[in-house]
Amino acid sequence: MKTIILASSSKQRHDILARTRIPFIVEESGYAEDMTLPLAPRDLVQHLAEGKAQAVAARHPDALIIAADTIVVSNGEVFGKPLTEGEAREMLRKLSGVAHDVLTGFVVLDTKTGKKVGRTVETKVMFQTLSDEQIDSYVATGEPLGKAGGYAIQGAGARFVERIEGDMDNVVGLPLQALLEELAKFGVTG
């Protein structure tokens, strides 16, 4: 069987893919995400996922690469991963009391044949109205840093979620069912 590489340093993506019992290795792509590209959100996550896949593919001439990227979209604004507590607070204030969309784009690339499939999955998340104290307390945990939209639904950020419509794994960062459908096109089943 061809080596399968998850092009991600995300523990959450690793854990989701590990549930399939499909053997894989992890390799960080080193790809620099540019959230300022003038692309529609669905195109942006696909572009970023493909960039990660291509960065790892350059180092592996015969492998199957899986790469993904997740963003949050609310009122036409795209939220990536906050790098500072201030950015995290601003994102959470903007998501407070509103529904937002979590988009994860992923790519599966066979580096030997060049065959590639990509897909974007969207999940709607409704947040309760958050007080400044709730936001400050959550940001102080450090959990929001490096998480799309400034929260981790699989962690303490779950307490802010009023409801979710769609795939929970997608919100965490890897829509497993959609990925398995695409992997089957490469003869990989989990």
Mind telling me the catalytic residues? 69
Cβ 183 vs Cβ 190: under 8 Å? yes
Output the six-digit token pair for 118.
């990509």
Question: Can you tell me the distance from the alpha carbon of 38 to that of 47, in angstroms, rounded to the nearest whole number?
Answer: 11
Output the six-digit token pair for 127.
């947040």
Cβ 71 vs Cβ 41: under 8 Å? yes
Based on C-alpha coordinates, what's the Rg of the chain?
Answer: 17
Q: What one-character-per-residue DSSP string does 57-68 give?
A: HTT-SSEEEEEE
If you search the block for the tokens 């015969």, which residue do you land on? 62
